[in-house]
């Protein structure tokens, strides 16, 4: 630095100091600080923070556990924090409990203790008897997620640990554990099943024999925003220190949770509508029994789709066919890939009559069920960590691959999935339409895509087709000839609409168009379509009222033939 530079720097510093001194000596105005805002100053490596515990006998002492930042301690009510966890192998913290009878004793549960698509697991329970200076590992490593810890107010060695369990699959170490020797030994005192973990535990401070525990049945899917829950959870109470438990219901708590019942002995009398999706063999056995008892069955399997006296319905396309339920008491839900295609074909067929359809499908693994989705996840992971890949649900490896084989092969070389698309389209829309399909399974979790080529009897421009599709119920046109100007399965997942993109003229035939169709195969391709059928059935034929929340269904009878 030159002498001139040093002179300038000193001048600037002296000038700034003079400004501060003048400001301090002058009477301050509230407006001077009006733009200042409070900000958090630490500990900075918190992320999601779930665990916080104070020490009643030391009002300024607190412990904080971050989900991926370890355990922190303050002894001055949060003015300063220091880490007490730097040497431990797991940084993910779900819960902290401090003993009332011995404030130097605290227990820490690792793992976030919650369920979300992305989280950090832990390796069990830790204990300190010197206020966090040193730690010992107490086991329960396979629990992965510790929801909460409760310590007997009068005995630091009697402790309950709520093990939430593996976030992505079944886990035998779930449940509530108790130790009476400070964590040297654990006994599981409450267990429901390998998919239901303990999420909360509390000891009555006035009577330590009374313990409450929350059980939570939940499993995260390996894909974003996917999960499974169930009715096996609930609030449990023990009055003998955890030896026996009773599930609490009623008196304000849920007592009307729908329980899974045995289909073999279920009595369908008094049931109006049955939504059935147990597989074709089970439907063939039990759907007739339900209709005999007076119920109307909306069946999502392939069992009844092509039977001549059973209507095959897409409400936006052929809602009047619902009336034919009276013939056998059954309405069939079409195949998922057929539903989204005929949703796009119907408005175009009304304008120019379709002669022929050539379609190639790109079908997600969820169309083959949950086990298939798990296989995609497990194979993808195996490839990244160099583990062997073994196909189980599919005929070949699905991760980083495509498989031109869905359902069984038929005598003519087509697969049954390809046959379904052809015959179902004819039954729903028009028996004179010729359809040829190539159905391919792709490594996508949710959402089917279809490349559709259509030949018409007369001219239909791409602009006219777009305009007709924009007027169609349940269809959205997203078609911009630019980057990202189209919809993919990733955007369609979780949505109710059928999306049409890439509309263009086919120059190889006199009157032809090509376009791209995408939909969530679990929603419009299955569950939503069945519910829409049920809404119309109840409102128009069973004397009920149409649900107001499904606005897309309301205009179906006016707009569809």
Q: Is 217 found in the same domain as 307?
A: no
Q: Does residue 268 belong to any structural domain of this protein? A: no
For residue 261, what pLDDT is reported?
A: 82
Q: Is 507 found in the same domain as 468?
A: yes
Q: What would the mean pLDDT of 128-146 be, rounded to a whole number?
A: 93
The answer to whether 336 is a known catalytic residue is: yes
Q: Does residue 377 belong to any structural domain of this protein? A: no
pLDDT for residue 119 is more than 90 = no
What's the CATH number where 474 sits?
A: 3.30.360.10
Q: Is 535 found in the same domain as 480?
A: no
Q: What would the mean pLDDT of 133-140 be, rounded to a whole number?
A: 95
Tell me, letter by letter, the H, E, C secondary structure of 170-212. CCCCCEEEEECCCCCCCEEEECCECCEEEEEEEECCCCCCCEE
Q: Is 179 found in the same domain as 302?
A: no
Q: What are the tens digits of pLDDT across the range 499-514?
A: 999 999 999 999 999 9
For 158, phi then psi, to 5°, come to: -100, 115
Contact 415, 471 (CB under 8 A): no
Alpha-carbon distance of 342 to 334, in angstroms, equals 10
Q: Does residue 446 belong to any structural domain of this protein? A: yes
- Worst-scoring range by mean pLDDT, 5-9, 115-119, 286-290? 5-9
Q: What are the tens digits of pLDDT across the range 170-220?
A: 888 999 999 999 999 999 999 999 989 999 999 999 999 999 999 988 777
Q: What are the tens digits of pLDDT across the range 66-111?
A: 888 889 999 998 889 999 998 888 888 999 999 999 999 999 999 8
Alpha-carbon distance of 60 to 401, in angstroms, equals 58
| CA terminus-to-terminus distance, the chain | 86
pTM for this entry: 0.63
Alpha-carbon distance of 144 to 170, in angstroms, equals 12
Q: Does residue 560 belong to any structural domain of this protein? A: no
User: What kind and span of H or E run contains 6?
Assistant: helix 3-25
Indicate the burial class of 251 (C-beta count within 10 angstroms; 0-12, 13-18, 19 or more).
Answer: exposed
Give per-residue burial for 108-117: e unless 16+ CB within 10 Å, then b.
Answer: bbbbbbbbee
Q: Does residue 394 belong to any structural domain of this protein? A: no
Q: Is 306 found in the same domain as 172?
A: no
Alpha-carbon distance of 442 to 465, in angstroms, equals 28
Set 213, 303, 439, 448: catalytic member? 448
Q: Is 169 found in the same domain as 132?
A: yes
Scan for tokens 């304000």, then name that residue: 252
Please tell me whether the peptide bond between 43 and the residue prior to it is cis, using omega within 30 degrees of 0.
yes
- DSSP bridge pairs for 126: 108, 137
Q: What would the mean pLDDT of 390-417 be, rounded to a whole number?
A: 96
pLDDT for residue 291 is more than 50 = yes
Q: What would the mean pLDDT of 226-246 be, rounded to a whole number?
A: 85
Residues 6+ apart with CB under 8 A from 76: 60
pLDDT for residue 306 is more than 90 = yes
Alpha-carbon distance of 117 to 553, in angstroms, equals 32
For residue 272, what pLDDT is reported?
A: 95
Q: What would the mean pLDDT of 306-318 be, rounded to a whole number?
A: 97
Alpha-carbon distance of 473 to 318, in angstroms, equals 12
Set 166, 213, 303, 336: catalytic member? 336
Nearest-CA neighbor of 209 among 189, 192, 193? 189
Q: Helices 336-352 & 416-428, crossing angle to 10 degrees? A: 40
- Residue 7 — very low, low, confident or very high, per pLDDT cuts 50/70/90? very low
Sheet holding 273-276, edge to edge: 273-276, 296-299, 330-332
pLDDT for residue 470 is more than 90 = yes
Alpha-carbon distance of 500 to 474, in angstroms, equals 11
Q: Is 64 found in the same domain as 205?
A: yes
Q: Is 313 found in the same domain as 342?
A: no
Q: Does residue 389 belong to any structural domain of this protein? A: no
Scan for tokens 């999502």, then name that residue: 300
Q: What are the tens digits of pLDDT across the range 323-361?
A: 999 999 999 999 999 999 999 999 999 999 999 999 999
What's the CATH number where 192 sits?
A: 2.130.10.10
Alpha-carbon distance of 4 to 8, in angstroms, equals 6
Percent of residues, the chain, with pLDDT higher than 90: 72
Task: Using the 3D structure, point to which of 248, 281, 305 is the last residue of a domain.
Answer: 248
For residue 42, what pLDDT is reported?
A: 57
Q: Is 318 found in the same domain as 294?
A: yes
- Residue 114 — very low, low, confident or very high, per pLDDT cuts 50/70/90? confident
- Residue 556 — very low, low, confident or very high, per pLDDT cuts 50/70/90? very low
Q: Does residue 44 belong to any structural domain of this protein? A: no
Q: Is 176 found in the same domain as 309?
A: no
Q: Is 344 found in the same domain as 228?
A: no
Nearest-CA neighbor of 247 among 332, 308, 187, 176? 176
94 is written with which tokens? 């779900």
Q: What are the tens digits of pLDDT across the range 245-265?
A: 999 887 777 765 666 788 999
Q: Does residue 481 belong to any structural domain of this protein? A: yes
Domain count, the chain: 3
- Domain holding 306, by residue range, is 273-332+529-541
Q: Is 516 found in the same domain as 421?
A: yes
What's the CATH number where 289 sits?
A: 3.40.50.720
Give the C-alpha distances (Å, rounded to integers) separating 476 from 251, 317, 433, 456, 487: 47, 15, 24, 22, 10
């Amino acid at each position: 630095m030159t002498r001139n530079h040093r002179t300038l720097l000193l001048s600037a510093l002296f000038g700034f100091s003079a400004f501060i001194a003048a400001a301090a000596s002058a009477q301050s105005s509230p407006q001077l600080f009006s733009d200042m805002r409070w900000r958090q100053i630490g500990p900075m490596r918190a992320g999601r923070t779930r665990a916080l515990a104070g020490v009643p006998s030391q009002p300024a002492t607190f412990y904080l556990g971050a989900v991926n930042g370890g355990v922190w301690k303050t002894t001055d009510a949060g003015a300063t924090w220091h880490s007490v966890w730097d040497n431990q192998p797991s940084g993910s913290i779900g819960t902290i409990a401090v003993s009332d009878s011995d404030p130097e004793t605290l227990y820490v549960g690792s793992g976030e203790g919650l369920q979300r698509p992305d989280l950090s697991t832990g390796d069990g329970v830790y204990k300190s008897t010197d206020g966090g200076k040193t730690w010992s590992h107490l086991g329960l490593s396979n629990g992965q997620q510790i929801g909460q810890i409760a310590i007997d107010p009068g005995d630091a060695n009697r402790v309950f640990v709520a093990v939430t369990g593996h976030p992505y699959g079944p886990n035998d170490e779930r449940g509530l554990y108790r130790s009476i020797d400070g964590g040297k030994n654990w006994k599981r005192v409450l267990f429901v099943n390998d998919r239901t973990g303990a999420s909360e535990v509390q000891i009555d401070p006035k009577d330590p024999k009374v313990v409450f525990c929350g059980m939570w049945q939940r499993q995260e899917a390996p894909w974003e925003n996917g999960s499974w829950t169930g009715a096996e959870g609930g609030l449990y109470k023990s009055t003998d220190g955890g030896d026996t438990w009773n599930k609490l219901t009623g008196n304000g708590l849920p007592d009307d949770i729908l329980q899974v019942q045995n289909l073999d002995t279920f009595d369908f009398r008094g049931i109006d509508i049955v939504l059935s999706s147990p597989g074709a063999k089970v439907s063939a056995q039990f759907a007739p029994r339900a209709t005999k008892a007076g119920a109307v069955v909306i069946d999502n399997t392939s069992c009844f789709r092509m039977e001549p006296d059973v209507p095959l319905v897409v409400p936006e396309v052929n809602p009047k066919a619902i009336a034919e339920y009276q013939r056998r008491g059954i309405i069939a839900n079409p195949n998922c890939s057929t539903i989204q295609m005929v949703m796009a074909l119907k408005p175009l067929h009304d304008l120019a009559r379709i002669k022929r359809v050539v379609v190639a499908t790109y079908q997600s693994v969820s169309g083959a069920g949950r086990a298939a989705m798990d296989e995609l996840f497990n194979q993808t992971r195996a490839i990244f960590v160099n583990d062997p890949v073994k196909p189980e649900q599919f005929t070949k490896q699905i991760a980083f691959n495509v498989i031109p084989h869905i359902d069984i092969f038929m005598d003519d070389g087509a697969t049954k999935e390809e046959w379904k698309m052809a015959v179902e389209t004819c039954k729903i829309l028009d028996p004179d339409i010729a359809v040829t399909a190539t159905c391919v399974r792709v490594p996508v979790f949710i959402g089917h895509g279809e490349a559709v080529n259509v030949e018409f009897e007369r001219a239909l421009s791409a602009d006219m087709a777009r305009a007709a599709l924009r007027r169609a119920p349940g269809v959205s046109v997203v078609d911009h000839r630019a980057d990202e100007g189209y919809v993919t399965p990733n955007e369609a997942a979780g949505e109710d609409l059928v999306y049409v993109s890439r509309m263009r003229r086919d120059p190889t035939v006199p009157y032809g168009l090509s376009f791209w169709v995408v939909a969530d195969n679990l929603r419009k391709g299955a569950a939503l379509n069945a519910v829409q059928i049920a809404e119309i059935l109840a409102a128009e034929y069973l004397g009920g009222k149409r649900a107001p929340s499904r606005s897309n269904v309301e205009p179906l009878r006016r707009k569809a033939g």
